[in-house]
Amino acid sequence: MFDAKQYFDDELSEHLSVANRVHEELGEDFARMLACWIETISKGGKIMLFGNGGSASDAQHIATELTVRYTKNRAPIAALALSTDTSALTAIGNDLGFDQLFSRQLGAVGRPGDLVVAISTSGRSANIIEALKEARQMGITATALGGRDGGAMVGLADPLIIAPSDTTARIQEMHIMILHMLCGALELELGLV
């Protein structure tokens, strides 16, 4: 018989274990990612986030935190999620192929001095990989958050923050926590709050 309390305990224990590893292992990667965000915004660039599924939702969530506010009212920070325009998504997917979903949008709105944040639990989605390649070719700083072993994003994104887990839910939980911390730290570093 299913034991809800045991399930709750097991899930939370796994979450805390992964969070402890993030705490122990990823501070330097976090600082490097934050430095990219600060440089981009300080020099008038924008942050473009993208991902598939739950990671698309995270991209939209964080773009909103940046353009509106994270903790307190302040000036807007230039950010957008490339997964929110259904007309562009369906036209690109239908006419050019799903692999071009984000790279095509980058070609239209990205500029040297901008920054991309790819979010992927596997690091193997073709549309993520194509977008990172496009960003690098365009002179856009290519960064990412991944999980597992980083997949094909290794070598294409720098920094690449890899949540130390093979469980999709735990990876996603670490991604949103890290992205929230990046928003808060960016506001503080730029003196916006």
Instruction: Give residue-wise pLDDT tens across range 120-175.
Output: 999 999 999 999 999 999 999 999 999 999 999 999 999 999 999 999 999 999 99
Tell me what pLDDT residue 49 has.
98
Tell me what pLDDT residue 193 has.
67
- 145 in Cβ contact with 118 (< 8 Å): yes
**Phi, psi angle pair for 141, to nearest 5°:** -65, 125
Q: Provide DSSP, 111-125.
A: -TT-EEEEE-SSS--
Specify the pTM.
0.96
Q: Which domain holds residue 56?
A: 4-189
Number of folded domains in the chain? 1
Tell me what pLDDT residue 72 has.
87
Instruction: Give residue-wise pLDDT tens across range 93-124.
Output: 999 999 999 999 999 999 999 999 999 999 99
State the CATH number of the domain containing residue 29.
Answer: 3.40.50.10490
Encoded amino acid at 41, one letter: I
Instruction: Give residue-wise pLDDT tens across range 35-58.
Output: 999 999 999 999 999 999 999 999
Instruction: Give residue-wise pLDDT tens across range 174-189.
Output: 999 999 999 999 999 9
